[in-house]
């Protein structure tokens, strides 16, 4: 049975999944990893989601406030053996629902060109590309996206 737990960055399962995510990104991003890593710290994340299958943590995601109308989706990860089964889409939808419940009408996110499966997931979920925002503004490898999630 698949379940979702709303939690925060203090959750041990979330922390373990983020470690796996960071290991994967370090390989994919190579020399650029240090730049991205500085913006992906999980300390003080108040809205994290862990997906469980039969009680085992298999994926996660989170969001943080970007401004009073927008949250930024962060730390999306699904263990490799559970990919291509729709788990990432379920996690993303749960995060969007939670953000909408908190009256945020918009989500934004950043992913990298070296994560084509992530780009496909976000496009499938209805995200559209936007101009790179914030610290990603002049970063060639970054792909920024947005979605209206107002209820």
pLDDT at 122: 98
Q: What is the pLDDT of residue 125?
A: 97
- How many structural domains are present in the chain? 1
Residue 111 has pLDDT above 60, yes or no: yes
CATH code assigned at 111: 3.40.630.30
pLDDT, tens digit, for every residue of 23-60? 888 876 666 656 665 566 677 799 999 999 999 999 99
pLDDT tens by residue, 95-109: 999 999 999 999 999
Domain hosting 111: range is: 2-148
pLDDT at 40: 61
Sheet with 142-148, strands from edge to edge, namely 2-7, 47-53, 56-67, 70-78, 106-112, 142-148, 128-130
Q: How many CB atoms lie within 10 A of CB 101?
A: 9
Q: What is the mean pLDDT of the chain?
A: 91
- Give pLDDT, residue 114: 86
With a pLDDT cut of 90, the percent of the chain lying above it is: 77
* 76: confidence class by pLDDT, cuts 50, 70, 90: very high
What is the band of 74 on the pLDDT scale with cuts at 50, 70, 90? very high
CB of 73 closer than 8 Å to CB of 127: no
What pLDDT does residue 72 have? Answer: 96
Q: What is the model's pLDDT at position 36?
A: 61
Q: At 110, is the secondary structure helix, strand, or coil?
A: strand
Would you state the structure tokens that stand for residue 35, as one six-digit string?
A: 């730049």
The CA distance from 143 to 137, in Å, is: 10
């Amino acid at each position: 049975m698949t379940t979702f737990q709303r939690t925060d960055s203090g959750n041990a399962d979330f922390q373990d999944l983020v470690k796996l995510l960071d290991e994967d990104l370090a390989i994919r991003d190579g020399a650029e990893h240090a730049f991205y890593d500085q913006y992906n710290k999980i300390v003080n994340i108040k809205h994290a989601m862990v997906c469980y299958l039969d009680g085992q943590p298999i994926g996660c995601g989170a969001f943080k406030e970007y401004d009073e109308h927008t949250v930024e989706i962060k730390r999306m990860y699904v263990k490799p053996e559970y990919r291509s089964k729709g788990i990432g889409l379920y996690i993303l939808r749960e995060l969007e629902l939670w953000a909408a419940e908190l009256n945020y009408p918009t989500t934004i996110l950043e992913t990298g060109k070296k994560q084509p499966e992530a780009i496909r997931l976000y496009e499938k979920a209805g995200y559209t590309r936007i101009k790179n925002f914030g610290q990603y503004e002049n970063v060639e490898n970054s792909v920024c996206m947005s979605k209206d999630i107002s209820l």
